[in-house]
Amino acid sequence: MQKLTPFLISGLLIFGVAACDNASKTSESAPNNPNEAPQTPTAKTTEASQQDAQSEVRRKQANSDIRAREQRNNTTGGDTTRAKGDLASEVRSKLEVNIPKSQLTVNAADGGIVTVSGTVSNQQELAKIEKLAKQIKGVTSVVVKATVAPPKK
């Protein structure tokens, strides 16, 4: 048994060195070298990504994620106050999937006050912002500073 232990330890070390040799990448198209510029996605890839982000499946996933966060928050006794970062993140997720092609930023302040700035495509989307943001537990009021973007020519 005493001779087997050093053999096992050396085997694990060799395996660890071999496993660490490959750099971790977040996606197939990520550069091998961090100093290397990433590849520019093709128009087809960009369009596919936009369609995926706006799909009904993505919307359901985001809403499910928001519900899970709220349930976790309720379980930990966080009904009364929410971290500003969590609140802003949940509102941002909700707006992102329900108002596609918008360019919105979300900031949260103490007391559940959420400020939404940026641009949306039309007046209907602008009207949705407050309603969607108030669906997130912990949001007490919404300040909408967003505007309707002029149509592109």
Question: For residue range 72-120, what is the model confidence (pLDDT) as tens digits?
Answer: 766 766 555 666 677 888 888 888 888 877 888 999 988 889 999 988 8
pLDDT at 87: 84
Q: What is the mean pLDDT of residues 5-28?
A: 64
Q: What is the mean pLDDT of residues 46-57?
A: 68
Query: For residue 90, which of 136, 144, 143, 128 has the smallest C-alpha distance?
Result: 136
**3-class DSSP state for residue 98?**
helix
What letter represents residue 142's amino acid?
V
pLDDT class for 69, splitting at 50, 70, 90?
confident
- Of 146 and 153, the structure prediction assigns the larger pLDDT to 146
In this predicted structure, the answer to whether residue 128 has a pLDDT above a threshold of 90 is: yes
pLDDT at 60: 80
Residues 110 and 84: beta-carbon distance below 8 Å: yes
- Of 51 and 91, the structure prediction assigns the larger pLDDT to 91
**3-class DSSP state for residue 111?**
coil
- Of 92 and 42, the structure prediction assigns the larger pLDDT to 92
**3-class DSSP state for residue 58?**
helix
Secondary structure tally for the chain: helices H, strands E? 5, 4
pLDDT at 34: 52
Mean pLDDT of the chain: 75
Q: What is the mean pLDDT of residues 40-55?
A: 67
Q: What is the mean pLDDT of residues 24-30?
A: 48
- Of 6 and 18, the structure prediction assigns the larger pLDDT to 6
Residues 94 and 132: beta-carbon distance below 8 Å: yes
pLDDT at 141: 94
Task: Please state, in angstroms and as integers, the Cα–Cα distance from residue 57 to each residue in 64, 91, 96, following that order.
Answer: 10, 18, 13
Query: For residue 128, which of 92, 103, 99 has the smallest C-alpha distance?
Result: 99
